Amino acid sequence: MRFEKVLVKCLCIGLCALFTTLAGAKPLSPIQVSIMPANTPAQGQPVQFVVRATVTMDADNVHILVSVPESLQVLDGELQWQGPVSKGQETLLRFSAILSESSTALEEAPLIQVQAAVLSGAQFGGNQGNALGRLAASAHYVWQTGLANVAASSKTSRLNSRLKSRVVKGNGITVHEFELRP
Amino acid sequence: MHCKSSFYSWLMLCLLVAALSGCGGGSSGESAQTTTASVSGTVRYEDREYSYSGFTGNKSYKSVRYAVVDLVDASGAVVDTTVTDEQGYYELAGRGANMYVRVLSMTSEAAGSHIEVRDYYGAVYAVRQNVSGEDVLNFDIAYEDRIAGAFNILDVYTNASLFVEQMSNTPLPALNVHWQAASSRYGTYFCQTNYVGGSCPQGKGIYLLGGSSSGGDTDEYDDDVLYHEYGHYLEAAYGAQDSPGGRHYLTDNDSDLRLAWSEGLGGFFPGAVKSWLKENNPERLSISSGNISTYFVDTVGSTAAISIDMGNPSTMFCLWGVDCFVYSSSEVAVAKVLHEMRKAFGMQAVWDVISGYLPSGTVQSSTLESFWDGWLEQRAPDAQELGTLHSIFEDRQVYYQSDDYESDDDHTFTRKLTVCGSGSCSGELHYLYSQSGADVDMISFDAQSGRSYLIETLDLSNGADTYIRILDAMQNVVVDATGQTMVNNDRPGTVYCYTYDNPCRIHNDDAMLSSSLTFTPLQSTTYYVEVSTSSSKPAAAGRYGTYTVRIVEQ
């Protein structure tokens, strides 16, 4: 009993600390989007994808656009959608795709990109922004299954620093040093 | 003997030369390379230009200002240390073995405050190059070497600190920033206490997204996001941080007033700093030429996910184009108000209220209401200034002023509200605001015995939380024909929790904190609806607010 009380007290303190310590997160777009495979990707098999978009406000004009690279063949489903969405309502897009036969030797994994925006129609278009602004969200899925040459995708290696690094302690400070090439 | 003496003389000479030049003996590789070095150079990092649409692809090198630079020997000892100047120039000299120069992602106070950019484990970043006889050792930290991001963070926060320094005599506390390339283990937010653990593994400071191995969102070059978080750091630095924090969406206009203020200040701050830079130091800006300073841009990949002008938010994001960036419960509205105040009265005036009134001048939480109170107290505005203020606030539908019926504060006022027949009825607009204390609105109406009336407050905004009572001519609370005491705080059936986005967050929407009564009078006479701010209002709500009142015969 005493242990339970202590446990509850600890949980309360922990939760309070968590909630009182995070003062300000960055602002979020009112639209949120995700893409997930509905079935486990397997070599040579089509994969069904589900795109989910939700909006935290009533919006009369929401756009969802899925960009699929040429190395994937879309078998069926929708790749774009436009229309009104009520606050909290979930909008779903489904499509299935398969890796093109000629794509198994790719050096970089195909990337499926999803963009969703609360924006008037004429001004939405892929990577183009506009002078009036943009409230959007994006998500992506990296297709790895069935690719022969993508041991470590070049995308991954680009994101990590090219520099050799080490951690040095001393003089009252810990330093994460990166060796700059001449 | 001579021979022996010559041998010892040669040995002593050799040891002396070895000690002085590091070349003697040859048994130790380190001592063999002990040298005296005098090295200087310039430190630059590669910045990315962005526009409303996202990153433009243009890059340019900028000096790393006020950064600590060390000359370090093979044992790790710091032989000499200095700080880069405005142009990123440094000079170091010292003696040691296998020495190298490192530039730390850490500034001196010359940057406006002591700023450190660290990894998630608490280590300060540095770039290093070996000293190998050159007099000049320049550092060009390229964007592709992702560590450049740490130096952009350092540069942006140097801008912000210098911006604050020219307005304030109070030194800012040290700022710790935590970011790690290709890691989004934590989000982008500010931790305001020294509590270490959970989402704040290094305690107090700003945490920033670093992306992931497959892409993801990264913020080290999103200057506006960096400035936004600096706004939160400033609030905490001045002891004026009252926001409960949590998720917040730009189009929300029913937020907790404390959250809306804090995030609105964060939305305002990027534009304020960039406007100052545009006038005083435009080469430190990263925005494309001709871009408006008040735009807030947050990228994902290279494209802007969020791009909105806080100084002039577009209604195209709002349902049917009806302005949704309104009320003191909207962070964008707060940012817009502050920008208009800055343009009308200058940044110093805005800053003086934020830093001088909110932290210690009031026991009230930091909200747009408190900012308004502070402005009146600190500046005692004349009629002209007050007119400008009202115009700025009214533009965002914030009404800290008397309403059309302000003489109705007691029952001697003879105007009567017309009772609506059943059906639609628009009601009467009121502002709960008084400069001299709590406002009370008294609305009289005629009622007939045996009939039933629905009396309610509607269309609440600006944090209003109404409390209503029905009084008789003697100003006593009425008990109606059903035996009910005619008092209501929040209308029956109000659900505070488990709305779709947050389990138990108070929404300052049009209905949650409104009031209603069904009244069946015992006598046909004149009654009074007294409307005031609820004494049990949640901290999320305001002391002021806007509402309409309606009486419908049922």
Q: Note whether B363 and B444 are same-domain residues.
A: no
A171 falls within a domain: no
Same domain, B419 and B506: yes
Name residues 167-196 of chain B within 8 A of A (Cβ).
181-182, 187-193, 195
Tally of domains within chain A:
1
Query: Are A26 and B252 an interchain contact pair (Cβ–Cβ within 8 Å)?
Result: no
Task: Verify whether the Cβ–Cβ distance B126 to A176 is below 8 Å.
Answer: yes
Measured in angstroms, the CA of A171 and the nearest CA of chain B are apart by 7
Choice among B151-155, B331-335, B421-425, B453-457 with the minimum mean pLDDT: B421-425
Supply the CATH number for residue A57's domain. Answer: 2.60.40.10
Does A174 contact B122 at a Cβ distance shorter than 8 Å?
yes
Residues A162, A168, A171, A172, CA torsion sign: positive
Show the tokens assigned to B343: 């343009």
Q: Does B505 touch chain A if contact means CB atoms closer than 8 Å?
A: no
Note the helical H segments in A22-144: none
- Name the percent of chain B lying above pLDDT 90: 73
**AA letter at B224:** D
Residue A168 sits at the chain B interface (C-beta within 8 Å): yes
Across the interface, which of B190, B195, B500 has its CB nearest the CB of A24?
B190
Predicted local confidence at residue B19, as pLDDT: 42
pLDDT of residue A132: 66
The string over B413-450, giving b where at least 16 C-beta atoms fall within 10 Å of a residue's C-beta and e elsewhere, is beeebebbeeeebebbebbbbbeeeebbbbbbbebeee
Q: Are residues B547 and B413 in the same domain?
A: yes
SS3 (DSSP) at A94: strand
Mean per-residue pLDDT, B161-179: 95
Residue A10 within any structural domain of the chain = no
**Is the residue at B156 inside a domain?**
no
Mean pLDDT over the full length of chain B: 90
Domain containing B471 — which CATH number?
2.60.120.380
pLDDT one-digit tens code per residue, B258-311? 999 999 999 999 999 999 999 999 999 999 888 999 999 999 988 899 999 999
Q: Taking CB atoms and an 8 Å limit, are B141 and A127 in contact across chains?
A: no
Query: What pLDDT is recorded for position B259?
Result: 95
Q: What residues of B are in contact with residue A167 (Cβ under 8 Å)? A: 123
The helix/strand/coil state of B244 is: coil
Query: Is B199 close to A21, i.e. CB distance below 8 A?
Result: yes
Rounded to an integer, what distance in angstroms lies between the CA atom of residue B108 and that of residue B91? Answer: 16
B467 and B492 in a single domain? The answer is: yes
Check: CB of residue B433 under 8 Å from CB of residue B402: yes
* Per-residue pLDDT reduced to its tens digit, B434-454: 988 789 999 999 999 999 999
In a domain, A20, yes or no: no
* Any domain includes B401: no
CA distance B206 to B187: 10
Shared domain check, B421 and B459:
yes
pLDDT value of residue B317: 86
- Residue-wise pLDDT tens digits, B495-546: 776 544 455 678 899 999 999 999 999 999 999 999 999 999 999 999 999 9
Answer whether B309's CB lies under 8 Å from A133's CB. yes
Mean per-residue pLDDT, B56-67: 97
Contact B521, B482 (CB under 8 A): no
**CA distances to A56, B327, B463, B510 from B540, in Å:** 19, 14, 8, 14
Interface of A with B in 113-152 (CB under 8 A): 115, 118-120, 123, 127-138, 140, 142
- Domain shared by B287 and B354, yes or no: yes
**Continuous segment of H or E residues that includes residue B297:** strand B295-300
**How high is the pLDDT of residue B270?**
98
- Is A122 part of any domain? yes
Lowest mean pLDDT across A78-92, B89-103, B396-410: B396-410
pLDDT for the residue numbered A123: 47
Nearest CB to A21: which of B53, B191, B324? B191
Quote the CA–CA distance of B206 and B188 in Å, as a whole number. Answer: 7
What does the alpha-carbon distance between residue A116 and residue A118 come to, in Å, rounded to a whole number? 7
Please give the pLDDT value at position B507. 86
Residues A29/B306, Cβ–Cβ less than 8 Å = yes
- What is the C-alpha separation between A87 and B494, in angstroms, rounded? 19
Question: B129 and B244 share a domain?
Answer: no
Residues B337, B445: one domain?
Answer: no
Indicate the number of domains in chain B: 3
DSSP code, position B186: S
- For the ranges A168-172, B124-128, B180-184, B358-362, the one whose mean pLDDT is highest: B124-128
Whether residues B526 and B417 share a domain: the answer is yes
Domain boundary, last residue among B374, B395, B416: B395
Best residue of B128, B177, B263 to probe chain A, by most A CBs closer than 10 Å: B128
For residue A21, list chain B residues with Cβ-Cβ distance below 8 A. 191-193, 195, 198-200
Question: How far, in Å, CA of B301 to CA of B308, rounded?
Answer: 18
Across the interface, whether the CB atoms of B211 and A159 are under 8 A apart is answered: yes
What's B87's domain CATH number?
2.60.40.1120
Cβ partners under 8 Å of residue A80, min gap 6: A63, A64, A65, A66, A93
| C-alpha A52: how far from chain center | 12
Q: Do the Cβ atoms of B215 and A140 come within 8 Å?
A: yes
Do residue B384 and residue B453 come from a single domain? no
pLDDT for the residue B361:
86
CA distances from B319 to A3, A24, B264 (A): 53, 27, 21
Nearest chain B residue (CA) to A23: B245
Inter-chain touch B195–A130, beta carbons under 8 Å: no
Q: What is the C-alpha to C-alpha distance for residues B190 and B195, in angstroms, rounded to an integer?
A: 12
Distance CA B88, CA B486 (A): 72
How far is the C-alpha of B532 from the C-alpha of B544, rounded, in Å?
9
Q: Which residue has the tokens 């299935």?
A: A96
Alpha-helix runs per DSSP H in B380-526: 383-395
Nearest C-alpha neighbor of A37 from the set A117, A104, A98: A98
Contact A87 B126 (CB under 8 A): no
- pLDDT of B24 higher than 60: no
B246/A22 touch (CB, cutoff 8 Å), yes or no? yes
CA distance A113 to chain B (A): 11
Q: Exposed (0-12), middle (13-18) or buried (19+): which is A74, by Cβ within 10 Å?
A: middle
B255 domain-assigned: yes
* Same domain assignment for residues B370 and B476: no
The residue segments making up the domain with residue B64 are 31-142
Tens digits of residue pLDDT in B209-268: 998 877 789 999 999 999 999 999 999 999 888 998 888 999 999 999 999 999 999 999
Residue B462 in contact with residue B401, Cβ under 8 Å? no
Asked if the structure places residue B299 within a domain, the reply is yes
CA distance B198 to chain A (A): 7
pLDDT at B343: 98
HSE of B447 in the Cβ direction (CA atoms, 13 Å)?
31
Q: Per DSSP, what are the bridge partners of residue A48?
A: A96
Nearest to B147 by CA among B67, B83, B84, B229: B67
| Rounded-to-integer distance, Cα B14 and Cα B149, Å | 50
Interface of B with A in 460-489 (CB under 8 A): none
Burial of B383 by CB count in 10 Å (0-12 exposed, 13-18 middle, 19+ buried)?
A: exposed
Determine contact: A8 vs chain B, CB below 8 A: no
Residue B412 to chain A, least CA–CA distance (Å): 44
Q: In this complex, how many residue pairs, one in chain A and one in chain B, have their CB atoms less than 8 Å apart?
A: 239
pLDDT at B15: 42
Hey, is the C-beta of A157 within 8 angstroms of any chain B C-beta? Answer: no
Lowest mean per-residue pLDDT among A92-101, A171-180, B28-37, B408-417: B28-37
Residue A178: what pLDDT?
A: 95
Indicate whether A180 belongs to any domain.
no
The chain B residue lying nearest A134, using CA atoms, is: B307
Residue A111 falls inside a structural domain: yes
Number of Cβ within a 10 Å radius of residue A154: 11
Q: Is the pLDDT of residue B550 over 90?
A: yes
- CA separation (Å) from B528 to B281, B490, B514, B524? 61, 19, 18, 13
Flag whether pLDDT at B5 surpasses 80: no
Helix, strand, coil in percent for chain B, rounding step 5 = 25, 30, 45
- Other CB atoms within a 10 A radius of the CB of residue B542 amount to 29
Please tell me whether residues B290 and B362 are part of one structural domain. Answer: yes
Q: How close A46 comes to chain B (CA, Å)?
A: 22
Look at residue B280 and tell me if it is in a domain.
yes
Domain C-terminal end among B142, B175, B208: B142
In which domain, by residue range, is A86 found?
A: 31-150
Q: How confident is chain A (182 residues) per 10-residue block, as mean pLDDT?
A: 44 43 83 91 86 91 91 94 91 93 69 83 42 81 70 39 82 92 72
**Residue B422 — very low, low, confident or very high, per pLDDT cuts 50/70/90?**
confident
Distances, alpha carbon B38 to alpha carbons B31, B380, B476, in Å: 18, 59, 89
Which among B144, B182, B250 has the least Cβ separation from residue A135?
B250
Instruction: Identify any residues that bridge with B177 across adjacent strands, giving them in sequence order.
Output: B117, B206
**Tokens 């009244």 -> residue:** B519
Residue A41 lies in a domain: yes
Interior/surface letters B48-81, b for 16+ CB within 10 angstroms, e for the rest: bbbbbbbbeeeeebbbbbbbbbbbbbeeeebbbb
Sequence letter at residue B386:
L
Distance CA B531, CA B427 (A): 14
